[in-house]
Structure 1
Amino acid sequence: MLRDVADGHRTTGIELSAPLAAFMRLRRENDLLVAALARDHGLHAPDFRAVAFVRFTPGVTPRGLAEHLALSLSATTAVVDRLVAAGYVLRSPNPDDGRSFRLAVTTAGAEAVEDAIELYTAAFEEVVPADRRDEVAATFVDIADALAAAAAERTPPTHA
């Protein structure tokens, strides 16, 4: 399949390195898995990602979730409203700021995220030898850091 991704881009005149082609395939397969997990729990993929972030970020506010999802605060409020109505997230007053809320997952939200953790864990255990997991994790962190740095260097769009 990696060759298919790289070959497909060669036909368009775009040369991809093997790591970039592999990364693109990984992203696509991950997106498909997240969509399937979300469907299994009656959610849309962006909502599932929100539940996962809330699960791993205790006390996160809607603003923090908006930053993570790269959505406006109003769009994130709609996501939170859907997740609260569906029983995946709880909203409670923020004791540090009376104007905002803190978010937490419900039991249903935690179970949905646990399903994902089990699938990802099984995939890593199947493919990555135990003695290389730290190395693979460090590589993922390095790539994430490089992508974050590249994003930070981009000029944010200005809206008229």
Structure 2
Amino acid sequence: MAEQQAPEPSALLAAFDAVVRAQTSLTAELSRRAGIHDSALRTLVLLSETGYATPTEVAGYLGLTSGAVTNTTDRLVDAGLVERRRNPADRRGSLLELTAAGADLIADRQARYAAALRSVDAAHDGRLLPVLEDLANTLLIGAVDAHADTPTD
């Protein structure tokens, strides 16, 4: 049996870029269908993962200004996807939580991704999870290393 050659780095990068573009396209389509901006959908994903978040946490997660988060939050509240409530730990602050409609939108997103991942995983004999975990960890280490290499003034 002949040994399989490793793909060229340029082919790996092209395949990875294709995955990123496909994910970006799916996010854009789901956002369009919901009548919200891509960053608003990312806000809903964060709230789904954490249960709730402060506007400051959303700003940090998305890399947005507080003004942009306020606009996004206002639109999500108006769309009935998020509710804003008082933060019991900070009387001046608020907490953001998904409404049932917001949770339904995220459940649809998750179902679409889950179906695609199950299909690809099955086609590769259940080996997708460790590959994705290794890739995520390697990229995170690279991000940390790049940050450490950044000069500070």
TM-score range, shorter chain: 0.7 to 0.9
Answering whether residue 59 of structure 2 is matched by residue 66 of structure 1, we say: yes
Q: 73, 79, 82: which one pairs with 2:75?
A: 82
Unaligned runs of 5+ in 2: 1-7
Q: Deviations over 1:23-69 (max 9, x none)?
A: 21111111110011111212121111111111111231000000111
For 2:137, the aligned partner's letter is: D
- Contact (CA 8 Å) 2:84, 2:96: kept in 1 or not? yes
- Pairwise mapping of residues 44-63 of structure 1 onto structure 2 (< 5 A)? 44-63=37-56
Are the structure 2 counterparts of residues 45 and 154 from structure 1 closer, same or farther at C-alpha, using a change threshold of 3 Å? Answer: farther
Q: Would you say the 8 A contact 2:73–2:82 is kept in 1?
A: yes
Select the residue among 16, 21, 28 that pairs with 1:23: 16
TM-score (norm 2): 0.83
Mind listing any 5+ residue stretches in structure 1 that lack a counterpart?
A: 1-14
SS in 1 for 2:126: helix
Q: Give the structure 2 partner of residue 137 of structure 1.
A: 132
Are residue 98 (structure 1) and residue 91 (structure 2) matched?
yes
- Find the partner of 1:43 among 36, 44, 48: 36
Matched, 1:120 2:110: no
The structure-2 alpha-carbon separation of the partners of 1:156 and 1:119, relative to structure 1 and needing over 3 Å to count, comes to farther
SS in 2 for 1:90: strand
- TM-score, with normalisation over the residues of structure 1? 0.80
> 1:156: Cα distance to partner?
8.8
Between the aligned partners of 1:98 and 1:127, the Cα distance in structure 2 is 47
Letter in 2 for 1:58: G
Q: 1:16 to 1:138 in 2, by over 3 A?
A: closer
Residues 1:36 and 1:157: Cα distance change in structure 2 (over 3 Å): farther
**Deviation at 1:96?**
0.9
RMSD: 2.3
In structure 2, the residue matched to 1:146 is: 141
Percent identity, aligned pairs only, is: 35
Partner of 1:34: 27
CA contact 2:85–2:94 (8 Å) conserved in 1: yes
SS of 1:17 mapped into structure 2? helix
Larger deviation: 62-71 or 128-137?
Answer: 128-137
